[in-house]
A and B are shown apart, each in its own frame.
Chain A
Amino acid sequence: MKKRVLSIVLCGIMALSSLTGCGSSASGDSAKAAGTAAAETTIEFWTIDLKASFGDFFNDMIAKYEADNPGVKINWTDVPYDDIKSKLVTAVAGGTAPDVVNLNTQMTLTLAAQGALVDLNKEATEEQKSIYTESLWKSASIGDSVYAFPWYASPDIMFYNKDLFDQAGMKVPTTFEEALSECDEFHEKTGAYLFTPDSYFNLLISENMDVISDDGKSAVFNNADSLALLEKYKEYTDKGSISKTKWGDWDEELKEFESGKLAIVSSSGSSLSRIKDEAPDIYEKVAITTPLTGSNGLSRNPLMNLVIPEASKNHEAAIAFANYVTNDDNQLAFCKTVSIFPSTKKASEDPYFTSDTESLEGQASAMSAKASLTSEDFSLGIGNQSTIEDAINRVYEAVIINGDDSKQALDQAEADVNAILAENAE
């Protein structure tokens, strides 16, 4: 039943493969022989963008696991961020699904909603589940099911340009509210923007506004509060004291920060090395503190996870390996190589994260530790969150960028989100 359509297509292919066989397999590639070893369990392990910087680290970790678990072989493939989804979907369709995959929370939830991932709450042991920080363990859950082992987090920290604040003679704001009230003066005195708001979806969450109803069936964000919030920001963008564009786009904000035209940027600690490389002049002026927050007091903490596709042939072995990669020791070791933060209880309390307060990099790491206490990966706990986020962020594009009517844009977004949710229920 599962793939009837394609089986029709496949019948044709099979018939043809005998024909093409003569023309194509003649030059037979040597690598085909690999992976035919008999009784071994092979775990296909996919990560996102890690090989270039941490190749040796992972190879060592894998070698150690293979030594400790005879009969298990790990095949590590590292995939660029932009292509992981396409590669995963085609592999699943082709019956060559990997066993352990690195995904962010949004992608995890999208795939989970399709029934493509293993429910770890059911299949993992209590011992395996117990090591993670409570709030992070729950971030990739739908109902009672949990679809991922949380791995490394990159909590937002705030980089600010000391020179610009000196020039303005102003203090660094701590909340969006404060930042908004100071942005006029700051822009007037320095010619630079004080800050760029987060995406509209994130703003709603930061300001404690509900986006969808508790039963996950309808949109509830179209109300007087969200309208007022939007209009308030619009007032300042119309005056030109904050940027109309690039809301919530840290990559673009970073570029603006690097050209000295933006005083604050919230991003993960690893952005520091990029600033140093791309804008050495600005790097000299950088200082670090906690990111701006809204009324819920939380900042963003995007999380990377490890998931097990339902189509994997070795659930148990895959879960064991995923658990190994995300255990205390391995996470701690990984965090020591780059400014990220672990998702397990014990590792996150390690003194390492607060040991170095001299260098900027050390401060970034300490600040990550601090920020991670008051942050979460903004998750609605439903599938296709990214589609819903896009629909809501289009309100910002319509109103702030295009200058359309706020109420109308919110109505439109409400209708769009309701349509998406209805499709979910089908």
Chain B
Amino acid sequence: MVIERIRKRRNPKKLFGDIFAYLLLIFIAVICAGPFIWLLLSSLRVGANIYSLDFKLSDFSLENFTGVISYMNLPMYVGNTVIITVAAIVLDVVFSAMCAYPLAMMDFKGKNIIFGTLVATMIIPAAAGMIVNYLIISKLHLLNTFLGVILPSSVKAFSIILMRQAYLGVPKELVEAARIDGAGELRTWAQIMVPGIMPSISTIIIFDFIGNWNSFLWPIIVLQDPNKYPLATALQYLNGSFSYKFGYVAAGTIISIIPVLIVFMVCQKNYIEAVSGAVKG
């Protein structure tokens, strides 16, 4: 047994393959993450020419980070972003999961029309979408509120379709069993179906997180009070001609990327299972 394992490890062909794989991985990682790492290094550097690629240890400091945090009242903006992002995700996940359920599991009139319309909304762009949405939000008296920021982009046809596919993968027997036990539709959905598509839900969380976390234009349109701005919107100000400071822009960008990466790493495992559940159905 032990001998076998050692032999396996020493298998020269496999070792060669592994080394080659690592070299390839590192090469691709440089292309994918290299630019990001340059930005990270630049954000950590003070008092040097930003176009110089000669990174000296003595130039490194956290000054840009502490600077941008106090300059922009960053905690407030992060707080706003978290409220907006979490609310949008909750709305999307709950409503889409509810909506996808009958589309996958029930027979009813108009099913095909609704499904077709959902697909169509993914394809047809709305050139005047922003203006019409603004009118709607203003008629609903939601201007300058978080709800006005959140609602228009909360529920997505994409999420509904993805979850419908996921429901199709949940074993039919489970549903039947629940029905025989006399559970109502709502209980079947909440206790059997939703747990069955948890992986898919984590996929949508990642997608929604990226989308809402980085959106900046719509919040500017709807909100009048800058104290309600999300982070990405507030970072726009760093590009102003009077306030432009490259170090701050770099540090602000890094700060805005990190939470998304953390969410990604946490959801990564679920995420893979999710997609494999979703697409096959």
Asked if B49 contacts A281 (CB within 8 A), the reply is yes
For window 17-49 of chain A, which residues contact chain B by CB distance below 8 Å?
17, 20-21, 24-25, 27, 29, 31-32, 44, 48-49
Asked if A80 contacts B151 (CB within 8 A), the reply is no
Residues of chain B within 8 A of A51, CB atoms compared: 226, 237
Asked if B47 contacts A24 (CB within 8 A), the reply is no
Among A93-101, A110-118, A129-137, which stretch is in contact with chain B? A93-101
Residues of chain A within 8 A of B144, CB atoms compared: 29, 31-32
Closest to B236 in A: A80
Asked if B242 contacts A50 (CB within 8 A), the reply is yes
Asked if B132 contacts A9 (CB within 8 A), the reply is yes
Q: A6-B135, A9-B135, A277-B245 are in contact. Are A77 and B221 (CB under 8 A)?
A: no
Asked if B135 contacts A53 (CB within 8 A), the reply is no
Q: A24-B151, A258-B50 are in contact. Are A270 and B131 (CB under 8 A)?
A: no
Question: Total contacts A to B, CB within 8 angstroms?
Answer: 129
Q: What is the minimal beta-carbon distance from B92 to any residue of chain A, in angstroms?
A: 14
What would be 15 A-B contacts, judged by CB atoms less than 8 Å apart?
A9-B132, A24-B142, A25-B142, A32-B145, A48-B240, A75-B224, A77-B225, A81-B239, A83-B220, A83-B221, A91-B221, A94-B143, A278-B50, A279-B51, A338-B242
For window 216-268 of chain B, which residues contact chain A by CB distance below 8 Å?
217, 220-221, 224-226, 228, 236-247
15 new A-B contacts, CB < 8 A, other than A25-B147, A77-B224, A86-B221, are: A6-B132, A9-B132, A17-B140, A24-B140, A25-B141, A29-B144, A29-B145, A48-B240, A52-B237, A81-B239, A89-B131, A93-B134, A94-B131, A259-B51, A279-B50
Residues of chain A within 8 A of B140, CB atoms compared: 17, 20-21, 24-25
Asked if A96 contacts B49 (CB within 8 A), the reply is no
Q: A52-B243, A279-B49 are in contact. Are A14 and B139 (CB under 8 A)?
A: yes
Among A21, A90, A259, A282, point to the contact of B134 (Cβ < 8 A).
A90
Residues of chain B within 8 A of A163, CB atoms compared: none
Among A14, A44, A81, A89, point to the contact of B240 (Cβ < 8 A).
A81
- In the bound complex, CA of A51 to CA of B132 (Å): 29
Residues of chain A within 8 A of B48, CB atoms compared: 280
Majority-rule SS of B interface residues: helix
Residues of chain B within 8 A of A20, CB atoms compared: 140
Interface string of A59-94 (1 = CB under 8 A from B): 000000000000000010111111100110111011
- In the bound complex, CA of A279 to CA of B246 (Å): 10
Asked if A94 contacts B138 (CB within 8 A), the reply is yes
Asked if A82 contacts B47 (CB within 8 A), the reply is no
How many residues on the B side are at the interface (Cβ–Cβ under 8 A)?
Answer: 43
Asked if B146 contacts A29 (CB within 8 A), the reply is yes
Q: What is the minimal beta-carbon distance from A308 to any residue of chain B, in angstroms?
A: 18
Q: What is the minimal beta-carbon distance from B103 to any residue of chain A, in angstroms?
A: 20
- In the bound complex, CA of A277 to CA of B47 (Å): 7
Q: What is the minimal beta-carbon distance from A141 to any residue of chain B, in angstroms?
A: 25
Closest to A270 in B: B242
Asked if B49 contacts A54 (CB within 8 A), the reply is no
Q: Is B37 an interface residue (CB 8 A)?
A: no
Q: What is the minimal beta-carbon distance from A287 to any residue of chain B, in angstroms?
A: 18
Q: Is A422 an interface residue (CB 8 A)?
A: no
